[in-house]
Chain A
């Protein structure tokens, strides 16, 4: 393994970790609410811009600025659920889907209104040199934190869903909403939990993404395309699937472009190519239920 490959793997892991945070929210919202939240990418942008405001414009330290951005994000998530998605929840899933597409476009327009098309940055150009498998690679502190924190959050989330009463409750509502209702479980509360957690994760991804690239109105869409592919790749609704799918896409993008196997202009197509290949070979996704018939 050359030093270049090691560096590309590191970059791919960073991207994968961020995609994973976004994909987790997407898959959880799908699982409980039953629709794909297209405006989830804009929550990533919200995180990046909110952090930029607190950190660069108001000159807060990184940690309080990040906590403030996450708080803003979670509150926005709860409001979006209550204001937009709750009223249409009992309708055909097409309606919340279309609503979320509209919301996505509207939020992009809002960013444009407030920040203009200008490219903004929260750069962090101090590099650390790490040694992994005996290869020297360059990594920024924010990248190291991104990897560390996303693994902690992913592990924490899996434990939360498996072990806590609220986690089991959320899985129960996702598994069969009408049975949940018969045992006194509130769907409204489940939605609030899932939007709070999902948007919180997206905002954290957005903060880190802001260190990796420029802030621009479409940054959320680009991220949500990758996250969406990761979710479908791993089987929609599956937590482990979304994580694995995210790292596959992150690594594939980094390696294929970095080793000039694919011209960088085509990098945006990589998630789709992987996705189409996957759907041809294994349409149910990596973690899809193959034994669907056993459920009856």
Chain B
């Protein structure tokens, strides 16, 4: 097991707990997706792993190491990268500067430059915007850039918060293809998604989070077939074949 979240209870500052005793795990080379309604606390799970919430109980283990109380930069150094939901790039910086800043904690200039070329190779569509401000990118390109910034860290584990949010269906497919490709290079992925069908299709396993608590779990296929999941998150009338 590469990442384990055990009995986690967390909230923001001195506010009420948002997550109550939740458990998740991620094995090496897996894509695991957490689905659930808006406000269930999905983003809060990822932020808690990353040290951005107030964790009141439970712990997060990366490999054999307890990272619950590490500061964010320590968590990044341990090999975890986070692509946040929505506004996840620096709009006033150029595409290239965004990538450089993705690797902020890295000190070797040469390594950063090499990694940058690798990322441009992985996302060829970004290369032509290299010296343009990222504010000018389309939604899909911006999401690719956000993924690229995280890849600058060569992470062992990638946390993705709603990578398909606000994107056109065709672009969503491209993003999910890239995510599968990232997995195939040996990065394990813990993802949060509203777009449950597409996400579960490419996932090895999935969890359903409701009101800050674990509701269901299973393999991607199991959850797709589960009538309760179908009813709640995939749209009642929607045929499951549609997504296949």
**Chain A residues within CB distance 8 Å of chain B:** 165, 168-169, 171-172, 174-176, 178-186, 289, 291, 294-295
In the assembled complex, the Cα of A185 lies from the Cα of B105 at a distance in Å of 8
9 tightest Cβ-Cβ pairs between the two chains A and B: A184-B73, A175-B90, A175-B92, A184-B105, A172-B101, A184-B76, A295-B135, A172-B90, A183-B104
Q: Are B76 and A175 in contact (CB under 8 A)?
A: no
Q: Are B91 and A176 in contact (CB under 8 A)?
A: yes
Residues in B whose Cβ lies below 8 Å from that of A179: 84, 87-90
In the assembled complex, the Cα of A63 lies from the Cα of B87 at a distance in Å of 47
Q: Are B84 and A171 in contact (CB under 8 A)?
A: no
In the assembled complex, the Cα of A174 lies from the Cα of B91 at a distance in Å of 10
Residues in A whose Cβ lies below 8 Å from that of B84: 178-179, 182
Closest to B87 in A: A176
Closest to A186 in B: B73
Assess whether B207 is interfacial by the CB under 8 Å rule. Answer: no
Assess whether B206 is interfacial by the CB under 8 Å rule. Answer: no
Could you jot down 20 A-B contacts, CB within 8 Å?
A: A168-B93, A169-B101, A171-B90, A172-B90, A172-B97, A175-B90, A175-B91, A175-B92, A179-B88, A180-B101, A182-B50, A182-B52, A182-B82, A182-B84, A183-B102, A184-B76, A186-B73, A294-B135, A295-B91, A295-B135
Closest to B107 in A: A165
Closest to B135 in A: A295
Residues in A whose Cβ lies below 8 Å from that of B97: 168, 171-172
CB within 8 Å of A: which of B36-94?
50, 52, 72-73, 76-77, 82, 84, 87-93
Q: Per a CB cutoff under 8 Å, which of B73, B93, B104, B149 touches A175? A: B93
Residues in A whose Cβ lies below 8 Å from that of B1: none
Residues in A whose Cβ lies below 8 Å from that of B101: 168-169, 172, 180, 183, 185
In the assembled complex, the Cα of A95 lies from the Cα of B107 at a distance in Å of 37
Residues in B whose Cβ lies below 8 Å from that of A186: 73
**Range, interface on chain B:** 20 to 34
In the assembled complex, the Cα of A291 lies from the Cα of B73 at a distance in Å of 34
Looking at the assembled complex, report how far the CB atom of A172 sits from the nearest CB atom of chain B, in whole angstroms.
5
Residues in A whose Cβ lies below 8 Å from that of B50: 182
Assess whether B28 is interfacial by the CB under 8 Å rule. Answer: no
Closest to B101 in A: A172
Query: Interface 1/0s, chain B 103-142, versus A by CB < 8 A?
Result: 0110000000000000000000000000000011000000
In the assembled complex, the Cα of A171 lies from the Cα of B91 at a distance in Å of 10
Q: Are A183 and B91 in contact (CB under 8 A)?
A: no
Assess whether B204 is interfacial by the CB under 8 Å rule. Answer: no
Residues in A whose Cβ lies below 8 Å from that of B76: 183-184
Residues in B whose Cβ lies below 8 Å from that of A168: 93, 97, 100-101
Given contacts A172-B97, A175-B91, A180-B101, 14 further A-B contacts (CB under 8 A): A168-B101, A169-B104, A172-B93, A172-B101, A175-B92, A175-B93, A176-B91, A179-B84, A179-B89, A182-B50, A182-B88, A184-B73, A294-B135, A295-B135
Given known A168-B101, A169-B101, contact A181–B87 (CB-CB < 8 A): no
Residues in B whose Cβ lies below 8 Å from that of A294: 135-136
Closest to A181 in B: B72
Residues in A whose Cβ lies below 8 Å from that of B105: 183-184
In the assembled complex, the Cα of A165 lies from the Cα of B90 at a distance in Å of 15
In the assembled complex, the Cα of A185 lies from the Cα of B89 at a distance in Å of 14
Looking at the assembled complex, report how far the CB atom of B72 sits from the nearest CB atom of chain A, in whole angstroms.
6
Q: Are B52 and A181 in contact (CB under 8 A)?
A: yes
Q: Per a CB cutoff under 8 Å, which of B72, B90, B91 touches A184? A: B72
